[in-house]
Chains A and B, each alone.
Chain A
């Protein structure tokens, strides 16, 4: 470490000495001559930078493009639209990038100072200026139209058959909730939160002090920590909450993202296209997982706030769901064991009775 700092300092010193010497040489040889020479060198470097830069861009793309996983496409049906508009924008801006950078460095090189050369007095040209005002306007209008069409789809209502899952961010993890057999999310209140057995603060009991009445719909809700199961080709709608600070429910593979704001629920919906198993094959990565990343700085564990989405087939999902007990039953196992007791409600059994 110290060695590398010493080396850096040494290099700086050498550059400095050379530069100082070059100034003395310039004074000795005549400022004018030295100026012309350095101007030529810099002009040459301008064009060199352009050429090497463009080669660098190509090379960078070659190495890094496969790592972006863009070639695998979006794993959600809606996300394909993100990819489409992304590609349209890449092509358009890419063309502008190439043209403008080439012109910039080419003009700098081509019209570098030459003795006796006169610059061309060219203060404005209305025709040109109108052209390069209208052309970008039209191009941007196209992008806006494409973009807003997709945006309306993403933020519009989820299809009627969509599965509903609630997700709650906390420092530093994700809690998922399924509505249970009744299909209704029970009420919750943050002052009921108890990390040991009621992490979302579901209202299971009457409480005069808090002015709340037990919500029967809360008793069959299923809570899952960090991993959530969803079904391939079935739209899923997430209702996103936060328990403490702002988080962001980021789903790179599905090209979706939405903040989790305490006190203000947000939503997101999409239709997964590939099961996790299929993605393991498509990526060739046996450890592949649809990771949920927190995309909003939420404290010192932000980087570790990972969740997992398991995309499975309907049959696998049903099998998984059958093994899940409600949060209430997990918190109070005795209510399941003594289902016959008059005061206690056994959610699993009583709910299924109510529905059939």
Chain B
């Protein structure tokens, strides 16, 4: 009771402050504070989104270049020499060094900058205050800093692409000793320094953002918005922030030790090393596997940091467009909780073949396969949400359906990889590539597209072009399956990932034709994304204007704000919440917004 009182008095104080603030400044806000050093969560969300789009194009383009190598190892592409220079692509043929740099930066950029920064950065910032009925984040200043750390991390990563020795080229996991020794790999010189600094800044950005998301959800909910009335998006975004806050520091610790090994002569990870052309190093007694434990302690939760926001977005968008409550709201939250807890207990399944203690390996098999249960529950719940709905196929909805399809196709093969007795065969093969690209990469993108198409009208006050969205969806869905589904077969043949060419391998060269097909599919799918990019920017200025405040007849609070909400979101008082957000087609009413009071005799769900 007293807690309630404290919370609400808090909200009132903040409300007053913001009201004051918003009214004082809205008429003459200079460009620099409105668009650049903005503290408005909606503007920061858009900044994350634009950065995310930028990095997605870069990351995708890198994959086009290395797919050219994989699909057409014998062919030369003069354009590559023009783009990458004589050193990286002599004669229009990328070098092995360039290839490894490309795959490394492709992974780093897409996973961290797009699917983590771009996805949760955009939607946590945008949706949390709007959907819980808050004027802004708990700390708008920290929120702004979060973006600028992210931005700086990006600038440094971008700079590393132009180093003479090239960017880091030892794989996005940056396993030492390879990542520690400039003599073992060119990219492990200055490129790795840039990479580590960039990543540490990125972690700072995530922590600033994450703490903010958690405290905002816990403290700034409007009157009546109990935790069990939160939309699933907010639940998902908060839980992913919990994951990030608890695991990113461990990664940083791993990086700090790595920096010490690289520059200050310590031996945390290094032992018994003789480098060709250099000789024996002085390091003794370190353990390279220690880094992998520290890395994967973040690295595994990281994939849930990516997928949880996507799951939340998909749940919300699917419910709105099926005109039906999300099936099993409590089970959805419960399974997300289970995922968060288990996410911390499965990291060593990436390390079954590192010589891990077999008993420990068995425990990790058990825990890893357990995490399939909450994932399965979620998939069944989504399918049931579609059942007997009145499904409206807006692009957001289609991306939600596509997400579920990809999540199933990619998720089921996690059962193979999580089982050490199968992993011993398919570990580090294309099976893994197919698995995580479908379940986390493309599915993460689908979650992001789903959210962008759905909330675009709220973000920019205009609609995106739906036909363009439809075409974008179908090409991307078909493309994703054409690229990644056949890779399962390559993986079952044991074809290792991260090979520059397979020409000389009797065991794997039978896939040369298939690699060509995959490359063509990848290139088409990449270029199809410009349909989205173009739609996004074109609609910002020329899209059809939003004229009704709640165009989807949605229940959540963001649609109770003005069409183009200012800083502070609501004019006048904050809305008061009376019910959960999923009363669609209840008691004959098509939708009942959260701010609608409960009628006499009405039963809450």
Residues of A within 8 A of B (CB): 1-2, 8, 12, 15-16, 18-20, 22-23, 27, 38-39, 41-43, 45-46, 49, 53, 56-57, 60-61, 64-65, 67-70, 79, 81-82, 85-86, 89, 93, 96-97, 100-101, 103-105, 107-108, 111-114, 117-125, 128-129, 132-133, 136-137, 140, 143-144, 146-148, 150-152, 154-156, 170-171, 190-191, 193, 195, 201, 240, 243-246, 248, 250, 252-253, 255-259, 261-267, 285, 287-289, 291, 293-304, 306
Contact = CB atoms under 8 A, between A and B. Distances in A.
Nearest to A131: B380
B34 interface: no
B337 interface: no
Given A23-B465, A45-B474, A119 B388 contact: yes
B135 interface: no
Contacts of A132: 376-377, 380
Nearest to B409: A97
Contacts of A285: 506
Interface string B376-399: 110111111011111111000010
A1 B77 contact: yes
A146 B372 CA distance: 17
Contacts of A265: 355
B419 A85 contact: yes
A293 B325 contact: no
B332 to A, nearest CB: 10
Interface string B352-364: 0111001001100
Nearest to B526: A8
A38 B390 contact: no
A299 B178 contact: yes
Interface stretch (B214-222, B256-264, B507-515): B507-515
Contacts of B286: 263
B420 A151 contact: yes
Nearest to B180: A245
B415 interface: yes
B471 interface: yes
B566 interface: no
Nearest to A11: B527
Size class of the contact patch on chain B: 35 or more
A193 B280 contact: yes
Given A263-B287, A264-B355, 19 more contacts: A22-B467, A23-B466, A39-B392, A42-B470, A56-B481, A64-B486, A70-B493, A93-B416, A111-B322, A112-B390, A119-B322, A119-B323, A120-B324, A136-B373, A143-B369, A151-B424, A243-B272, A263-B270, A300-B169
Given A46-B401, A57-B485, A119-B390, A301 B361 contact: no
A293 B508 CA distance: 10
A112 B95 CA distance: 51
A156 B584 CA distance: 57
Interface stretch (B37-45, B181-189, B295-303): B181-189
Contacts, number: 382
B54 interface: no
Contacts of B468: 15-16, 19
A298 B366 contact: no
A118 B390 contact: yes
Nearest to A112: B391
Tell which of B79, B420, B605 has the most Cβ of chain A within 10 Å: B420
Contacts of A140: 369-370, 372-373, 415
Contacts of A22: 467
A111 B177 CA distance: 55
Given A49-B478, A257-B353, A250 B409 contact: no
22 contacts: A45-B474, A57-B485, A93-B412, A104-B401, A104-B404, A111-B387, A119-B584, A120-B388, A123-B582, A140-B415, A151-B424, A190-B272, A193-B274, A245-B177, A245-B185, A248-B427, A259-B353, A285-B506, A299-B178, A300-B97, A304-B504, A306-B505
Contact of B393 (A112, A118, A267, A298): A112
A83 B390 CA distance: 44
A245 B184 contact: yes
Contacts of B588: 118
A69 B493 contact: yes
Contacts of A86: 416, 422, 425, 492
Contact of B408 (A39, A97, A156): A97
B185 A121 contact: no
B328 A124 contact: yes
A340 to B, nearest CB: 35
A19 B468 CA distance: 5
Contacts of B489: 60-61, 64-65, 67-68
B289 interface: yes
B412 A97 contact: yes
Interface string B399-439: 00100110011001101100111101101110000000000
B154 interface: no
B499 interface: yes
A81 B421 CA distance: 8
Nearest to A15: B471
B562 interface: no
Given A15-B531, A299-B184, A293 B486 contact: no
Interface string B494-505: 101011111011
A291 B384 CA distance: 48
Contacts of A101: 405, 408-409
Given A68-B489, A124-B330, A111 B389 contact: yes
Contacts of A293: 494, 496, 505, 507-508
Contacts of A262: 177, 270-273, 288
B586 interface: yes
Tell which of A15, A112, A191, A244 has the most Cβ of chain B within 10 Å: A244
Contact of A155 (B329, B358, B413, B544): B358
